[in-house]
Structure 1
Amino acid sequence: MNFLSHIKKHFGDGNYAGDEFGGGSGHNGSGLPSGSPSNFMFATGIECSYPTIQNGKVRRDQLRECGHYDRYKEDIGLVKEMGLKVLRYGLPYYSIHQGPGKFDWEFADLAMAEIKRQGITPILDLMHFGVPDWLGNYQNPELPVHFADYCAAVAERYPWVRYYTPVNEIYVTARHSAKDGLWNEQLKDDKAFVTALKHTVAASIMGTQQIAQRRNDLIIIQSESAEYIHEVCASPTAEINLHNELRFLSLDLLYAHAPIADVTLYLLDNGMTREEYKWFMAGQPPGYQVMGNDYYGRNEKIKLPDGQEFNSMDVLGWYQITKEYYNRYHKPVMHTETNVFEADDAPMWLWKQWINLMRMRRDGTPVLGFTWYSLIDQIDWDSGLAELNNRVNACGLYDLDRKPRPVAAAYQALLKEFGQITIVPYGQLLEVTDQPARIKVEI
Structure 2
Amino acid sequence: MGSRWYTEGPLRFGLGIENTFVPQGAPGQRPIDEYELTEHYRNWSGDLELAAGVGAEFLRWGIPWHRVNPAPGEWDWDWTDRVIGRMVELGIRPVIDLLHYGTPLWLEGQFAAADYPARVAEYAVTAAERYADLVTDYTPVNEPMIHVLFCGEYAYWPPYLEGAAGAARLSLAIADGFQRTQHGIREVLGERATFVHVDATMRYVGAIDAPEHRENAERLRHQAFLVEDLVTGRVDDRHPLLPMLRAHGADENLLAELRDRPALPDIMGVNYYPRHSTELFEAGVHHAGGFADPRPTRDDGLTGFAETLRTYAERYGAPVMVTETCVTGTAAERIEWLDSSVAEVHRLRADGLPVVGYTWWPLFDMYEWTYRHGTGSREEHRLPMGLFELVEGPDGLERRPTPVAEAFRLRADAAVRPA
Q: What is the TM-score with the length of structure 1 in the denominator?
A: 0.82
Whether the 8 Å contact between 1:55 and 1:185 is mirrored in structure 2 is no
Distance between the aligned counterparts of 1:220 and 1:420, measured in 2? Answer: 27
* Structure 2 counterpart SS, 1:58: coil
1:415 corresponds to 2:387: no
Matched, 1:38 2:9: yes
**1:85–1:119 contact (8 Å) kept in structure 2:** yes
Deviation at 1:269, TM superposition (A): 0.9
Q: In the TM superposition, what whole-angstrom CA distance separates every residue of 1:37-80 from its partner, at most 9, and x where no partner exists? A: 73432100111101256648632000010110110000000011
Aligned residues of 2:222 and 2:241 also touching (Cα < 8 A):
yes
Distance 2:203 2:160 in 1: 23
State the 1:167 CA deviation.
1.0
* Number of residue pairs matched by the alignment: 386
**AA partner of residue 255 (structure 2):** Y
- 1:393 maps onto 2:393 in alignment: no
2:258 paired with 1:280: yes
Conservation of the 8 A alpha-carbon contact between 2:23 and 2:105? no
For residue 370 of structure 1, report the CA deviation from its aligned partner. 0.7
Question: Alpha carbons of 1:59 and 1:342: their partners in 2 closer, same or farther (altered >3 Å)?
Answer: same
User: Whole-Å Cα distance in 1 between the matches of residues 8 and 310 of structure 2?
Assistant: 25
Select 1:255's aligned residue among 232, 237, 243. Answer: 232
Equivalent-residue separation in structure 1 for 2:239 and 2:169 (angstroms): 19
Asked if 1:239 corresponds to 2:226, the answer is no
Shift of 1:409: 2.2
Match of 1:31 in 2: none
Counterpart of 1:87 (choices 52, 59, 66) is 59
* Displaced runs of 4 or more, over 6 A: 34-37
Whether 1:313 and 2:299 are equivalent positions in the alignment is yes
**Partner-residue secondary structure (3-state), 2:135:** coil
Label 1:399 to 1:196 Cα distance change in 2 as closer, same or farther (>3 A). Answer: same
1:96 alignment partner in structure 2:
68
Distance 1:186 1:53, change over 3 A: farther
**Contact 1:47 1:378 survives alignment (8 Å):** yes
Q: Which runs of 5 or more residues in structure 2 are unaligned?
A: 288-294, 391-397
Q: Deviations over 1:282-312 (max 9, x none)?
A: 13227x6211010012011112122252111
* Range 268-277 or range 367-376, more displaced: 268-277
Alignment partner of 2:157 out of 166, 177, 183: 183
Residue deviations 1:137-164, cap 9 Å, x none? Answer: 1111211111111111111111121100
Q: Is the 8 A contact 1:53 1:182 kept in 2?
A: no
- 1:138 and 2:128 correspond: no
Q: Which residue of 1 aligns with 2:85?
A: 113
Q: RMSD of the TM alignment (CA)?
A: 2.2
Change (3 A) 1:384 1:330: farther
Over alpha carbons, which structure has the higher Rg? 1
In the other structure, the counterpart of 1:364 is 352
The CA deviation at 1:215 is: 0.6
> 1:234-259 CA deviation, whole Å, 9 max, x = no partner?
33421121011100111101111236
TM (normalized to structure 2)?
A: 0.87
Among the aligned pairs, what percent are the same residue?
24
Equivalent residue, structure 1, for 2:393? none
Q: CA deviation at 1:369?
A: 0.6
Task: Please say if residues 269 and 322 of structure 2, whose CA atoms lie closer than 8 Å, have aligned partners that are also in contact.
Answer: yes
State yes or no: 1:299 paired with 2:270.
no
Q: 2:169 aligns with which of 190, 195, 218?
A: 195
